[in-house]
Amino acid sequence: MSTTRKVLLGLVASVTLASMALLAPTATPPASAASLVQVTNFGDNPGNLQMHIYVPDTGPTPRPIVLAMHPCGGNGPSFYASTEFASLADRYGFIVIYPTASNRRMNCFDNWSDESKIRGGRTDPVSLVSMVNYAVQQYGGDPNRVYATGSSSGAMMTNALLALYPDVFKAGAAFMGVPFACFPNEADYQPGGNSNCSNARINRTPQEWGDLVRQANPTYRGPWPRIQLWHGTNDFVVAYGCLQQEVDQWTNVHGLSTTPTSTDYPQPNWVRQRYADSTGTVQVEAITITGAGHNLPMGGMAAYAISFFGLDGTVPTSTPTTPSNPPITSSPPGSTGACRVTVNINAWNNGLTADITIVNTSTSTINGWSLTFTLASGQTIVSGWNATYSPPSGQVTARNVSYNATIPPNGSTVIGFQATHTGNTDRPSSFALNGTPCSVF
């Protein structure tokens, strides 16, 4: 059995046979309280997908809709059983659609074909929009409050739906995804394997990532959907470096800087970076889960997604206070010096990726920077993003590129690289920004 197949099967190893009891009949009666109902003949379905829907007993009129998409190897009923979206729907009254991908590529949603990258392409995105339209027409769904979320393959499709149908989806929450149009073809669709996309080896500027979205809808003038992005630093299936590429894409689409407007720590091992517009509305939110692998969402994370959508009664702003968000600290303890560096390593066999967040803790704006550090013995950089790197081993200097040369006071930028190793996967050391030593976390 191939490594990729083993990894994809592992994504659904926690789904028990008992979850099969959730499979509903093929009829299409209105859903009742606490029931998952299968819908057939929901409309145009070129992707040959299946549709299940969950409609709580009570809720607003019309009802918001959340499209919740499973990872590779999964299905709609298993995602219903293993996530908290249905229980949150009971609390807040929104509809949840649980699609199931066809059996190609281990039940992965099509994020690789040319058709999946164009509006109206004859594949999965059209089928998913048909499900939304059906829910609006048959279940009293609100066409002005439609949201997408998903895990892994479902997260990749979340990015795609927001890019292809920004007039349908108001916001999305992607757990462990990649940017829209990242996979060049089906051959590269190898999460957990030798994929340039899922290993974050495709090097594009924010402008180039953003152009891929705009080219999918050349006549669309906005507003673009808001997006919340989640990733674990120890993800061996979809590299953590993909998170920054998603941030680059969507901040560019929204016309925002890649420097977050705020950073906080809402839970232990969580780092949340927000990118707000001039009105204070957070358009892009990136949440790093330190030490987490390819197993998101975990308990409680769905509530943060629903809060980001505003479906718990809150208004999306740059500093929301919600029951699902516990008290926030503004910075980690021990943040001293003119610069602060956070390093996350994702290692495997004889390779690794490193993501480095550089924070300007001085009171002056940095215009042009170089970051020096020492690689661990036996490590050699083979590629990088958001900076140039030389030499590839020993004491390395990372220099800014054109779009991230400026770091304002308390601002930050994220860079990263991929390296080979001979067994030593330690983090780099001895960081200095423009010659000034940095605190390291």
Mean pLDDT, consecutive 10-residue segments, the chain of 441 residues? 42 34 37 77 97 94 97 96 96 97 90 96 98 97 98 98 98 98 95 90 94 95 95 92 95 94 90 94 95 94 96 62 33 51 81 86 89 94 87 92 84 87 91 89 77
Catalytic residue ranges: 152
Domain with CATH 3.40.50.1820 in the chain: 3-309
Level-2 CATH architecture, domain 339-440: Sandwich (2.60)
Q: Strands, DSSP E only, in 349-426?
A: 351-360, 366-367, 370-374, 380-385, 388-390, 395-399, 406-407, 412-420
* Protein fold of 3-309: Rossmann fold (3.40.50)
Collapsing DSSP to helix, strand or coil, 422 comes out as coil
Residue where the block lists tokens 């927001």: 162
Cβ atoms of residues 398 and 389 within 8 Å:
yes
pTM of the shown model: 0.70
What residues does CATH 2.60.40.290 cover in the chain?
Answer: 339-440
pLDDT at 319: 38
Structure confidence at residue 387 (pLDDT): 87
* Percent helix, strand and coil across the chain, each to the nearest 5: 25, 30, 50
**Distance (Å, rounded) from C-alpha 78 to C-alpha 81?**
5
Model pLDDT, residue 33 = 52
Sheet strands side by side (includes 370-374) = 388-390, 395-399, 370-374, 429-433, 436-437
Q: Quick check: 32 and 219 in contact, CB under 8 A? A: no
Question: Terminus-to-terminus CA distance in the chain, angstroms?
Answer: 39
The single-letter DSSP state of residue 13 is: T
- pLDDT of 34 reads 62
